[in-house]
Amino acid sequence: MNLASDRIIKMLPPLRMVRAVRPFCAFFFAFCLAGCAAGGMVVGGKPRSFIHPDLAAVPSLKVAILPLENLTITPNAGQVVAQLLSTELYARHLFRQGEEEAVRKLLGGQPLEKDRRPKGMDSLQQVGGKLNVDAVLSGSVTEFSYQHGLREEPVVGVHLVMTRTKDGQVLWQASHSLRGTGVFNRETLIAVAQRAVIELVNDVLHQTSAIPPVVKR
């Protein structure tokens, strides 16, 4: 061997050291690949939904968005997701929305749970009639927390049901769950919730195959 080759060999780490660190390098490489591949990606897949044909036929439907029932241990998760949903629907010009203040006065800012329904409000149809809307959008938040593992990862789960006022027909029903992951670009819990809402709205727009026109209020 020449002098240059001899110097390169001397610079290389001992074989025992290479063998010792090999498992740790492999683990770190796999961890980074998994994080990069999943970071910002949908872990729960696409929303699962049912859309009645009548929903596409009435693009100017007036809808009241009710506070979502909170099935998690995180306080106010239902109200937070309902606000995100209302904002996204408004921004995308999807449905006309009933007055938020009217919903607040009727329900006191609480979801329409069986043991806390206002007098005379035994069904979503009655609620819709009282609010003078074509349909009501209700549902629940099933996940809204950080899961603990090698690291904390935000997890959000949402279930939505749109009920027509005049006959109780379900026009839209959807469920979606997401987990925010990534090594270098971590998502917050609110960011994951926002992404879940956007994907739910994208799904209903895609399935109705038409973006409703802007409706002046």
Averaged pLDDT, 86-94: 92
For 2-50, how does the pLDDT look when each residue is reduced to its tens digit (9 = 90+)? 555 455 445 445 545 445 445 444 444 444 444 443 333 345 588 999 9
Within 10 Å of residue 28's Cβ, how many Cβ atoms?
Answer: 11
Tallying the residues shown for the chain, one arrives at 217
pLDDT bracket for residue 94 (50, 70, 90): confident
Tokens in use for 136?
Answer: 């009501």
Give mean pLDDT, residues 64-80: 93
Q: How open is the CA angle 141-143-148, to the nearest 5 degrees?
A: 165
Give yes or no for a contact between 72 and 142, defined as CB atoms under 8 angstroms apart. Answer: yes
pLDDT of 176 over the 60 cut = yes
Q: Which position has the token pair 């980074």?
A: 32
State pTM to two decimals: 0.72
The reported pLDDT for the residue numbered 96 is: 92
